[in-house]
Amino acid sequence: MSTCSVSKGCFVFKPSTKKRRLSDKTGHDFRCPSNDSEDTQLRFVTCQSLWNQIKSETEQIQEDLNKQLLDNLVSFLSRSHSDFQEKTTEWTCRMKFREIPTAALVLGVNVTDHDLTFRGLSDVLQDNITPYVALLEAKDCPGIKNLMQKLMGQLMNCDIDVDSMDDEDCVQVSQNRIRCSMPSLISWYDSVTKKTDSETPSKKRNSSSRHWRSPPVVVIFKDMESFTTKVLQDFIVISSQHIHELPLVLIFGIATSPMIIHRLLPHSVSSLLCIELFQSLSCKEHLSTIIDKLLLTSRFPFKLGEKVLQVLINIFLYHDFSVQNFIKGFQLCIVEHFYSQPLSVLCCHLVDIKKRVYSLSHDQCENIRRLPSFRRYVEKQESGKQIELLTNDSFLKEETQKLLEDLHVYHENYVSILRCLHVFTSSLPKYPLGKQIRELHCACLENRVWETEEYESSLQLARMLNKTDLVTMLQQCVEILIASSGKEFDRAIEKLKEFLTQFQNLEVAEASQERDVSVSPQKELQKKTDLYHLQKTLLELKESRRSKKLTKFEMLRFEVVDYIDSLVRRYLVPADNRTLHEIVYFNAAAVLRGHLNAAPRTALHTALNNPHWYLKAFSTVVMAAEEPNADAASSDQVDDVIHARFIRAVSELELLGFIKPSKQKTDHVARLTWGGC
């Protein structure tokens, strides 16, 4: 059936027989056209399981991060509600002022992530506080009428969910027929709460145990900034009139700053609200946690290369601040890696490596031999081993397994040492290696970090740290190393502990020593009163200090920094230098960028800059030039074909948005890009 028609724009195709494709179809799609190796299924399964792990991990992280916020909100809501319950004096006095309890939820600019937060919030509320939760979005509420409709629709629907379906018809009627107004809402609320009261306790036990007798009605404004001022004002004023009948609680989702409430609402209206502020975690911190838990861990075999990580972080920082998008990009990386790299079948947990390596086919062995990092490795071996590696599959497999295990160990060590280094660099003034651990991570992945200027300067700065800082840092490092799973750090831990004890000894020794040393310059200073002499003495002091031998503390400090430096040089080798890194590291940043951060305009431009295209256009010109010669009689007549092609070219330009017909003249078009106005 054709999809061209002059009377229809939509075409539905249903397969004639109900032969639905099997559920493992995604596995079939996993076939790479270039090489259909037998491992595809395994690869796909690995990919899926890895992604599912990561997904649940991120969800867990999200939940943990929001827990604090949600707990606070829940306690706030239950407080505001208990007042209404007990009819205490406080409530009556608030009622006198007609104040609506309001939570202002500052969520940050990453609007796309808010949905998840709100979903979690409404779930928690429905579980703990009240079944009556309405989520309103600005785009659904252009006027107060729409807002009320939406609100009542949501509230009455949730009523169905909570109560059994026995009086469904009555609710349905009310939703459709009743005018959407505050009184009808109140009468609905009364009927609902009364019904709950009158019902037998046995039937309602589980719901009444979760909710109070007259639960509050929570209205969530998802994007407070986008609501029109008038709608908000009207709603607040109207509902404040009825607050004594309807225990309403508002929650404002705010993306910018809490000031917006006062900017949107005049004082007369905002005074009707009793606002409490809640701050959610900033998206940057969220990202840091995600990176920390997903990338800087040896739990997941899959790793991101430097450029890929950079692209993802850049999209986050420069485009949307959306953690969800970051995770989506991460997912794409995983899929792309497992799809395009046949050897990614080996990108699995350590326990599976042996089995998988030994079941590799000959083709896959050849694939390994083709890896650039493996070739470099082979070149470094002696000739006998070289031949073995290149000809003997089983030897290669043995070697591969060993190398992969090495890689795993390398990564474990890498993460621990990276964290140690971060302890040092994150407290230095001006942060030469970046404040966040992700920056340090990128720097270390990019090239040998100890060859960079920034590293040099941060070492310089570290050599000037004071003792207390240094000691706490060393303690932190010890903790990190102890916590890490790497087995090689016993020596390092010993060494660091030794440093710590030395510092302690130093403290004792110094305390006695310093007392008699420090007296003399102090006295000298007191003698002099005028500026000139003071300056002179200070200069002298400085001179003497420079020439003086290093104190014991300074010696020790140098030693510590040097030791850290040696650890860095040993463990923070960039991953590119490791053999077989291609198997676990995804490095196709260009692909990723093309899919996530595409530039359609650029594509158009490049395509139009394409000489082929111009040649095509040029041929038209040439043909047009030839035409009059061929047909001299009608020199004014343009060839039909060329005319038609011209017409098509014009329509195409119009379709592409380069031109539009100008209304002023027939046959005239206005240029829309490249300087048209």
Partner 1 sequence: MSRPEGMRSSRHSLQVKFVPDEDVLKHITDDTGTKVRKEKAQLSVSVKRFVKKLENISDNEAQEILEEKNYVAALGICTQDAVGNGSNISGGEVYSFQTPKRSNKMAELASELAQTPEQNVSPDHSKCPEKMAKTPQNSKLSSSNRVQQTSKKKEFVSTTPYRLRKRLAAPDPYLESESEYSASCSEEEEDEEEQKEVSTIISDQKTPAKTKAASTPPHRNSLAKKRKAQKMGNLVEEYFEAHSSSKVLTSDRTLQKFRKRRLNQQTLYDLLKNAPLAYAAEIRDLNQQHESLFSKWMLQLHLGFNIVLYGLGSKRDLLEKFRTSLLQDSVHLVVNGYFPSITVRSILNSITEEVLDHIGTFRSPLDQLEFITKRFKEDSSLELYVLIHNLDSQMLRGERSQQILAQLSSLPSIYLIASIDHINAPLMWDQAKLSLYNWLWYETTTFSPYVEETSYENSLLVQQSGSLALSSLMHVLHSLTLNARGIFRLLAQHQLEKKDNPSYPGNYSPFLICLGCCCSQQPWVLVCRLHFQQQLSSNSWLSEAHWLSSGTVSDSVKQ
Site for partner 1 in 84-123 (CB under 8 A): 111-112
Comparing CB distances to partner 1, the nearer of 30 and 503 is: 30
Distance of CA 156 to the CA centre of its chain: 36
Comparing CB distances to partner 1, the nearer of 518 and 673 is: 673
> How near is the Cβ of 525 to partner 1 at its closest, in Å?
19
Site for partner 1 in 536-595 (CB under 8 A): 588-591, 593-595
Comparing CB distances to partner 1, the nearer of 516 and 667 is: 667
> How near is the Cβ of 260 to partner 1 at its closest, in Å?
18
Q: Other CB atoms closer than 10 Å to residue 572's CB: what's the count? A: 22
Closest-CA residue to 275 (of 287, 290, 265, 289) = 265
Of 70-78, 547-555, 570-578, 629-637, which segment contacts partner 1 by CB under 8 A?
A: 629-637
> What mask of x and - would describe binding to partner 1 in positions 16 to 45, judged by CB under 8 A?
---xxx---xx-xxxx-x------------
What is the distance between the alpha carbons of residues 438 and 431, in angstroms, rounded to a whole number?
13
Site for partner 1 in 472-531 (CB under 8 A): 530-531
> How near is the Cβ of 610 to partner 1 at its closest, in Å?
7
Comparing CB distances to partner 1, the nearer of 471 and 596 is: 596
Q: What's the burial of 435, exposed, middle or buried (CB within 10 Å: 0-12/13-18/19+)?
A: middle
Site for partner 1 in 129-158 (CB under 8 A): 139-140
Site for partner 1 in 591-620 (CB under 8 A): 591, 593-610, 612-613, 615-616, 619
Q: Considering the rule CB under 8 A, would residue 180 count as an interface residue with partner 1? A: no
> What is the CA angle 601-606-607, rounded to 5?
100
What is the distance between the alpha carbons of residues 614 and 625, in angstroms, rounded to a whole number?
16
> How near is the Cβ of 435 to partner 1 at its closest, in Å?
18
What is the distance between the alpha carbons of residues 564 and 561, in angstroms, rounded to a whole number?
5
Select from 262, 497, 570, 648 the one that contacts partner 1 (CB under 8 A).
648
Strands 659-661 and 669-671: antiparallel
Q: Considering the rule CB under 8 A, would residue 645 count as an interface residue with partner 1? A: yes
Comparing CB distances to partner 1, the nearer of 377 and 658 is: 658
Are the CB atoms for 564 and 462 separated by under 8 Å?
A: yes
Q: Name residue, tokens 């659904």.
A: 140
Residues 6+ apart with CB under 8 A from 517: none
Torsions phi, psi of 664, nearest 5? Answer: -75, -35
Site for partner 1 in 286-315 (CB under 8 A): 307, 310-311, 314-315
Number of shown-chain residues binding partner 1 (CB under 8 A) = 101
Strands 273-279 and 100-106: parallel
> How near is the Cβ of 655 to partner 1 at its closest, in Å?
6
> How near is the Cβ of 387 to partner 1 at its closest, in Å?
32
> How near is the Cβ of 410 to partner 1 at its closest, in Å?
24
Write b or e for each residue in 303-321: b if 16 or more Cβ atoms lie within 10 A of its Cβ, otherwise e: bbbbbbbbbbbebbeeebb
> How near is the Cβ of 608 to partner 1 at its closest, in Å?
7
What is the distance between the alpha carbons of residues 287 and 301, in angstroms, rounded to a whole number?
20
> How near is the Cβ of 667 to partner 1 at its closest, in Å?
4
Select from 3, 468, 529, 547 the one that contacts partner 1 (CB under 8 A).
3
Of 240-248, 323-331, 405-413, 485-493, which segment contacts partner 1 by CB under 8 A?
A: 323-331
> What is the CA angle 335-336-337, rounded to 5?
90
Comparing CB distances to partner 1, the nearer of 149 and 502 is: 149
Strands 273-279 and 303-304: unpaired
> How near is the Cβ of 598 to partner 1 at its closest, in Å?
3
Comparing CB distances to partner 1, the nearer of 550 and 615 is: 615
Are the CB atoms for 594 and 333 separated by under 8 Å?
A: no
Comparing CB distances to partner 1, the nearer of 4 and 259 is: 4
Are the CB atoms for 137 and 124 separated by under 8 Å?
A: no
Are the CB atoms for 574 and 411 separated by under 8 Å?
A: no
> How near is the Cβ of 44 to partner 1 at its closest, in Å?
9
Comparing CB distances to partner 1, the nearer of 236 and 315 is: 315
Q: Which strands, in side-by-side order, build the sheet including 133-136? A: 133-136, 217-221, 248-254, 100-106, 273-279
Site for partner 1 in 386-445 (CB under 8 A): none
Q: What's the burial of 609, exposed, middle or buried (CB within 10 Å: 0-12/13-18/19+)?
A: exposed
